[in-house]
Amino acid sequence: MTLVAILSGAGISTDSGIPDYRGPGGLWRRDPEAQKLVTYDAYMADPDVRRRSWLMRRDSSTWRAEPNAAHRAVARLEGRSGHAVRVITQNVDGLHQQAGTPERKVLELHGSAHTVVCTRCAARSTMAEALERVAAGAEDPACLACGGILKSATVMFGQHLDPSVLAAAMSIAKASEVFIAVGSTLQVQPAASLVGLAAEHGARLWIVNAEPTPYDALAHEVIREPIGTSLPRLLEQFD
């Protein structure tokens, strides 16, 4: 049984209506100030940044998004092939799980936008509950358990990845025989380093991304075609 590891970035979700960050029309290029809203030190220090962040979350396209052909192709591969499939995602949208990939087979490197966490007591609750409070007039909703600052349970700029999640991702990369990086610029570390780690341990590497990445030279094949059509076609090879 072949272990197929899929590292997905923001580009896999653009067909679902969720903008990427660093692409030609990416969020950070269109509005560099938006990055401050997901930077931990700025978020914790400035109530105005938090208020703007909650409005950004309230209006996020994530809540209207549905899995697209690429997400569904990954779920089909996991469900019908004789291969072991593991998804390592940089995304926080939950679309792999919504498409049908079992939750236990998806590693969310950067957390989940569907959950909020208290920065003081670590209590967790749903984003839907927090946004209901925002809609009711709470501009910067505090933790109901201790009054601490709430944030999305995602890894902000300036925060480290969960060590246990990163360790699991590294183990998958090392053990994989096929490693497919899709929709990622492969510029954000340590997530991008998983590609090099897989290649070093003998995996055949495919990169599916609109723009060049720092790891293209290591790839068995680089695919520049639209992800919604090219990824399903690629994954059919591994049935």
Task: Just list the catalytic residues.
Answer: 110
Strands 84-89 and 111-118 turn out to be: unpaired
Q: How far apart are CA 96 and CA 103, in angstroms?
A: 8
Q: How far apart are CA 119 and CA 152, in angstroms?
A: 10
Q: How is the beta sheet containing 204-208 ordered, strand by strand?
A: 106-108, 84-89, 3-8, 178-182, 204-208, 221-223
Angle of CA points 162, 180, 34, to nearest 5°: 50
Give backbone dihedrals phi and psi of 136, rounded to 5 degrees, phi first. Answer: -85, 0
Residues 100-119, buried b or exposed e (16+ Cβ, 10 A)?
ebeeebbbbbbbbbbbbbbe
CB 189 within 8 A of CB 166: no
User: 222: closest CA among 238, 205, 236?
Assistant: 205
